[in-house]
């Protein structure tokens, strides 16, 4: 080969490397940053609040966002907390039935695809959250104080007693919709279909089609960073505190291992639902942008720091649920600059519904 040809090839290779590095280190990050800055913040969201899945902590985020941006929130009628759950959602369950459609709906409701899609503005993002069915059941069973309702002795492991005497209780819990396939029920699956494998498969596909994001309670931070990214929100928008936790003393019992299969068999729809969205969740995580994990770490740190800053230390009983649930109490020593944010983070659903009732119903 002639010397001049070798030089030309070298030049070409060098040029190719140069173009590659400029693209990799300058153009692509610049383009991603521009895309992020150009994205439009999502304002219309329906959050299908499933029971005992960390949903109150997520609702706090939607309420806070709505308040800070002056958005309209759909309010349950008759001063109650839910849209007549367990009935399937209807438009006349909403109090502020406005001519203009609401931006946000995030209180308990049973999913009704047709009604909800026409009730919300076109292009509304549908979001929900799931939790592993076993631990979700434990939470629902104790939070609603079913052991007392069923006359289970206080000294027993309530789960052991429940499953050992299952035939006796079966009838009593027939209409306790949070206790069997609770998440699938909330998302619209009919109890008559709980044993129908085809109906369950079709149901999961329709959730997949209708919902833009399915969060997982066990991966709360990952879920929220994904939400923040998808909605073009800031990390501050998705800061959170843990609402509605049971007291530590009510977490000492679990479903004994020997009843695990019996439980999973009775809750097939929820098990398949959770498995399916666990898989799609990790597929989505894999396709996230470069600094996804550093944002997850940051959100964890910041939310942890907010809990330290905002909350009166210790565990406090929620007086309405004396032996079961905790209540978040604002730290009276909170710094002046943090007070506003802390108040909003601590506020529970009742506090927000009162706030939005006051301003939205006054405006009419």
Ligand X SMILES: Nc1ncnc2c1ncn2[C@@H]1O[C@H](COP(=O)(O)OS(=O)(=O)O)[C@@H](OP(=O)(O)O)[C@H]1O
Contact residues: ligand X, CB under 6 A: 51-57, 139, 143, 217, 220, 240, 242-246
CB of 131 to ligand X, least distance (A): 7
216 CB-near residues (< 8 Å, 6+ apart)? 129, 130, 131, 222, 223, 277, 278, 281
CB of 244 to ligand X, least distance (A): 4
- Span between the terminal Cα atoms of the chain, in Å: 85
| 3-state SS class at 126 | strand
Q: Which residues pair with 129 in a beta bridge?
A: 215
Token pair for 271: 């098990």
CB of 321 to ligand X, least distance (A): 10
- Residue 51 or 180 with smaller CB distance to ligand X: 51
Beta carbons of 188 and 210 less than 8 angstroms apart:
no
CB of 19 to ligand X, least distance (A): 46
CB of 71 to ligand X, least distance (A): 21
Give me the torsion for CA of 149, 154, 159, 160, rounded to 10°: -130
- Residue 29 or 256 with smaller CB distance to ligand X: 256
Separation of alpha carbons 53 and 218, rounded Å: 9
Q: Which residues pair with 105 in a beta bridge?
A: 46
- Residue 51 or 161 with smaller CB distance to ligand X: 51
- Residue 2 or 320 with smaller CB distance to ligand X: 320
CB of 247 to ligand X, least distance (A): 8
- Residue 47 or 143 with smaller CB distance to ligand X: 143
| 3-state SS class at 317 | strand
Q: C-alpha angle 74/79/81, rounded to 5°?
A: 65
CB of 170 to ligand X, least distance (A): 23
Task: Work out the angle between the directed axes of helices 292-310 and 220-231 (0-180°, nearest 10).
Answer: 110
**For 40, which DSSP code?**
P
- Residue 101 or 317 with smaller CB distance to ligand X: 317
Rg over CA atoms, the chain: 24
Token pair for 86: 């367990």
Separation of alpha carbons 59 and 55, rounded Å: 6
- Look at the block and give the residue holding tokens 């007070």: 339
CB of 53 to ligand X, least distance (A): 5
- Residue 220 or 274 with smaller CB distance to ligand X: 220
Beta carbons of 189 and 271 less than 8 angstroms apart:
no
- Residue 193 or 348 with smaller CB distance to ligand X: 348
């Amino acid at each position: 080969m002639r010397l001049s040809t070798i030089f030309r090839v070298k030049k070409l290779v060098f040029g190719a490397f140069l173009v590659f590095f400029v693209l990799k280190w300058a153009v692509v990050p610049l383009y991603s940053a521009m895309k992020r800055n150009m994205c439009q913040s999502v304002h219309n969201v329906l959050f299908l609040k499933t029971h005992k899945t960390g949903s109150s902590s997520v609702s706090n985020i939607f309420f806070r966002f709505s308040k800070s941006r002056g958005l309209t929130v759909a309010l349950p009628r008759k001063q109650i907390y839910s849209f007549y759950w367990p009935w399937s959602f209807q438009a006349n369950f909403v109090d502020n039935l406005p001519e203009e459609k609401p931006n946000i709906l995030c209180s308990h409701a049973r999913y009704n695809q047709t009604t909800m899609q026409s009730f919300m503005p076109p292009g509304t993002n549908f979001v929900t959250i799931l939790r592993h069915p076993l631990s979700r059941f434990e939470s629902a069973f104790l939070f609603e104080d079913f052991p007392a309702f069923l006359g289970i002795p206080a000294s027993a492991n309530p789960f052991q007693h429940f499953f050992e005497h299952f035939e006796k209780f079966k009838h009593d819990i027939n209409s306790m919709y949070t206790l069997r396939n609770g998440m699938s029920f909330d998302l619209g699956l009919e109890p008559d279909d709980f044993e129908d494998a085809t109906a369950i498969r079709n149901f999961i596909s329709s959730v997949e089609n209708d919902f833009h994001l399915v969060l997982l309670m066990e991966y709360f931070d990952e879920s929220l960073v994904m939400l923040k990214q998808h909605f073009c929100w800031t990390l501050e928008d998705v800061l959170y505190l843990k609402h509605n936790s049971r007291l530590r003393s009510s977490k000492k019992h679990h479903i004994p291992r020997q009843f695990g299969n019996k439980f999973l068999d009775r809750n097939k729809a929820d098990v398949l639902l959770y498995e399916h969205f666990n898989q799609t969740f990790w597929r989505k995580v894999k396709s996230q942008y470069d600094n996804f994990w550093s944002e997850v770490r940051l959100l964890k740190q910041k939310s942890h720091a907010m809990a330290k800053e905002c909350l009166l230390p210790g565990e406090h009983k929620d007086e309405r649920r004396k032996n079961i649930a905790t209540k978040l109490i604002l730290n009276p020593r909170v710094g002046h600059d943090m007070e506003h944010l802390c108040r909003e983070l601590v506020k529970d659903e009742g506090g927000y519904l009162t706030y939005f009732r006051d301003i939205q119903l006054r405006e009419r």
